[in-house]
Structure 1
Amino acid sequence: MTPDPLRGPSFGSYAPDEVGWLLTDLSHVALEAPTEEREEAVQRGGAHYAESLPQEFQPDPAYLALYRRALDDTAVRLATAVATVTELVLAERGPGVTLASLARAGTPVGILMRRWARHAHGLDLPHYAVSIVRGRGIDTAALRHLAAHHDPARVVFVDGWTGKGAITGELAAALAAHARDTGVRFSDDLAVLADPGHCVRTFGTRQDWLVASACLNSTVSGLVSRTVLNPRLLQPGRYHGAKFYAGLAGADVSAHFLDTVSAEFPRVRAVRPPADRAPDPGVAAQVARIGARYGVDDVTLVKPGVGETTRVLLRRVPWRVLVRAEAPPGDVAHVVHLAQGRGVPVEEVPDLPYSCIGLIHPRYTRGATGADGTAVRVGVSTP
């Protein structure tokens, strides 16, 4: 037996029928730590990033204006990408699928896919949010709940975007291990809204443009934190945890984001499946080469794509940001704004395979800075 999913309004601000959170409520636990402390602990190996939470980013008025403008400008193409990926899923997996979003970037995407299925086909798809943690795998208690209530072969895992394929690989490995241990098989065909990393075969677009929900944290994700896997708080067999930031209700734009995109559904006409859907590992190899060019040999510290670069600026201690010289300004304006606010150098690079890439300094230590004021690696020269 596994606990029933958490639902709004007692957990999260989404309507109760939009998503069930297969999570443990840790709202009462103080888990937030300063970004610099978390970065140093993670890089020194003293803690895993999922054991604590970053302090919630509070955007200034200028940044919120950028977010609103970006959402208004991209709502139609977001709606089209939602329609495209949902139609691919329904065509290949049938109308009786269950959506399982990877919390939390995947959660608003899963809700939009559910809304498209209802809009275009009159379907009422079950939708859950589950946790997956890099280096630790997917929540097996959540998998048990899904298998007990739905056909595992019809469960579709959903995420917002790909970077270099870390979560794609994590999902495949975790589901393979789960099948070996239990005999229960889920498909690892991850469905994403944007696949600039060419990591999956089921996607809405492969262009590296802004998915506006990437701009914010919990206030665009149902007021739910990033997921937590801390063995001191969660006994074996329990769902991974998360917090509900009910106190941020006044800043919540989660419903507005969903409504803005789904309001454009009637403008989506012909939905054409992508001509080439094969994954291309060569894109991720380019990312490794770019990191090495800047002296960052640990590929986990190279965060490619608009979504991943935004996450670095919101949650981590970034060292510098690379922006493709030809990138549409509207897709990277918020990245430049965040970088300037944190004193992070922004470098234009021609022919970058992504719109932007965020670099985290290896061997980060608080207080160590270079001539330009940015964090440097201890004992290693700066490129």
Structure 2
Amino acid sequence: MRAQETKKNDITKKVSFTPLLRRWWVLPAAACIIILGVYVFLIKPGMAQSDASRKKTGAQMRSIPVTVAAVKKGDMSVYLTGLGTVTPLNTVTVRTRVDGQLMDVYYREGQTVNKGDMLALIDTRPFEVQLAQAEGQLARDKAILANARIDLDRYRVLWKQDSISKQQLDTQEALVRQYEGVVKVDQGLIDSARLQLSYCRITSPITGRIGLRLVDPGNMVHASDGSGLIVITQIQPMTVVFSIPEDSLPQVHRRFKTGVQLPVEAYDREQKEKLATGYLLTIDNQIDTSTGTVKLKATFPNKQNELFPNQFVNARLLVDVRRGAVIVPSSAIQRGPQGTFVYVVKEGRTVTVRPVSIGEIQGGEASIKTGVSPGESVVTDGADRLIEGAKVEPKRGGGETSQKDR
């Protein structure tokens, strides 16, 4: 009996303590949640703001090394660039004008020849025979003509004496005119034979450079051959055909109409070496609708043979010169949501953001319409670490510290 009561009391105590234990764990958990919320919404943002403030303050207090350059005033050249191909003014494929055996050549491959120089010789013997035949026929017909004229003179005397009829005189006059025509035909045959004979001597039609030999001596050549004997290319002067956007055409056309020679520079494929300098020769008469570009042709003296036919080049056309422009290095131009700006170094080695309006960008330099003045210093390297009011350690482009900002 006691054992049953004792067991019953233990069960009653266990049941009565269970709610108390549950309530005891709820309170600490709620307190932890409240503390965590206060930290997340109140304490942490304040700490983040404090860190940002300290970062900003540190940036303002710590000197950041930067490279600077002075804003200058000067003349700025405005260029238009385009891809071009070197094109010779004249390229001639020398062909024979008569059929015959190629007897000899008088040139070397790659040689520069002048107009009229002897290049090759075709067998002249067949044409000399034809010329001799034509000359013999002319001599015979001239003799016949002379005899007919003598007879005509006799007929005229006899007709005056009323010894022959007028019809006989007219017939003799017609015969003389006929022989005169035959003599003219013979003279034409002689001229043709001489011309054909002259074609056996092949001369250069232009001054230029000879390419590789296409036919060797001893071969039979014909006027109908398509390949020809040699190719001669005029290399002085040389031209470059290049294209520019059609939007730039009015600017170029206005300058070209004034008669001023517009300089053109030819650079190599990598745009590292300037090959030659010339001037604009002409503008094409139509725009290529498939590319939206127009072709221009420039001429170059090519005295040192800097340009080679069909060579790929980059052409730069000088279209204008901006006089008295405010110029900064193009690396100083920064771009942001509010537009273009530069970092200007003020006295005390601090920087300020200055919005600028850009004109032209050419060859690593930019002309500025508004925003900076000559003599000011702008940051060209290290701008990615700067903010408004940051302290800097200015250095010129050569690496030396700016004396002005010390």
Tell me, yes or no, whether TM beats 0.5: no
User: TM-score by structure 2 length?
Assistant: 0.16
Which one has a bigger Cα radius of gyration?
2
User: TM-score by structure 1 length?
Assistant: 0.16
Higher helix share: 1
